[in-house]
Structures are given as C-alpha cells and as structure tokens.
Amino acid sequence: IEHELPAAEADGTLSATENASPESESGELQKLRSERDALIDRLARSQAEFDNARKRAAREQQEYRDYASAEAIKSLLPVIDNFERALSVSSSQSSEFRTGIELIYKQLQDVLQKLGVKRLEAKGQPFDPRLHEAIEMVETDKAPDHSVVEELQSGYMLKDRLLRPSMVKVATNPRHQ
C-alpha cells in the first residue's frame, strides 16, 4: 500500500501534527475514539428519546380521539333518561305514538353503541362503588347482602371509561349483620 508523504511547509519544515511523536499520536487517537464513542452513545440516546416521544404523542392523540366525544355523549344521557321514563309510563295513548317513541329510542341506542357507549347493567349485580352510586340502602332478605335491588338511573361507559355511574338502591340483609 502506498502512502502519501505529508507536504512540507514552504520553509521546508513539517507541521506540528506531523512532528508529533508516535506516543502523542496514540494518545490523541485514543481521545478521538472516546469522543466518537461518546457522540455515538449520545446519538443513540437521542434517537431513543425521539422514538419514545413520538410513540407517546401517538398514544395521546389516539386517547384524545377515543374520548373526545365524551362531553357530547354526556349531554345525550338525559334524553335517554326521559325516553326511558316516557316508555315506562303505561297510558291509553295510541300504539302508533308508542311505536314511534320506541323507534327513536332504538335509533339513539344504536348511535351510542357505534360510538362505543355501553349501558351498565346494575340490577342484581354486587354493589361496586366504582360503577354505582348508592342512593338508598334497602333492608331485605330477598336479595344477597350488598347487591343492587333497583336501578334508579342507568350508568354508562365509553369504551373502558366511566361516563356516569348508575344510581342504585342497595340491599342490606339483616341476617348477615
């Protein structure tokens, strides 16, 4: 392998780096290698931090999209409550009116289901303070202790997040006290 000789200065002397001894060149080479290794390490860490930040941002954006409609859905819940109240009242009104109300109710339920809203089933379930709001304790031996005997207002979940807890009456069994 041919090596090119360093060019001499105009006055015929070699530059300072060319005059350096092999020991100082070895020390400088070692210093450059350690700097290079440190820079490569910093680059790898920066890339990892960037990837983590990108993933975190994507996750936060997805969560925002999943739950952005929560406020709109919360405002629809009283409408559903009124539909349920109207449908629970038996009257001598025409069956066509009732059929119309039932169709609107079903349509609204379908829209909410497509948005990821699920109605919580509370009656007969064990009382769960994360999902239920106890309004009254009812002494009874017809239901297990601490179970929901009546649902006064339905609770709803949006995907895995509680929108509104169910308002319930909870059984207390006098035999278990």
Give per-residue pLDDT as tens, 55-111: 999 999 988 887 877 877 887 888 888 778 777 766 666 777 778 788 888 888 888
- Local structure of 138: helix, strand or coil: strand
Question: pTM of this prediction?
Answer: 0.55
Task: Estimate to the nearest angstrom the gap between the alpha carbon of 132 and the chain centroid.
Answer: 21
Q: Which of 152, 65, 151, 159 is nearest to 112 (CA)?
A: 159
Q: Which of 105, 174, 109 is nearest to 138 (CA)?
A: 174
In whole angstroms, what is the distance from residue 82 CA to residue 96 CA?
19
Backbone angles phi, psi at 145, to 5 degrees: -60, 140
Tokens for 125? 């379930």
In whole angstroms, what is the distance from residue 103 CA to residue 96 CA?
10
Pairing mode, strands 117-119 and 148-153 = unpaired
In whole angstroms, what is the distance from residue 157 CA to residue 112 CA?
10
115-158 pLDDT, tens digit each = 889 999 999 999 999 999 999 999 988 888 999 999 999 999 99
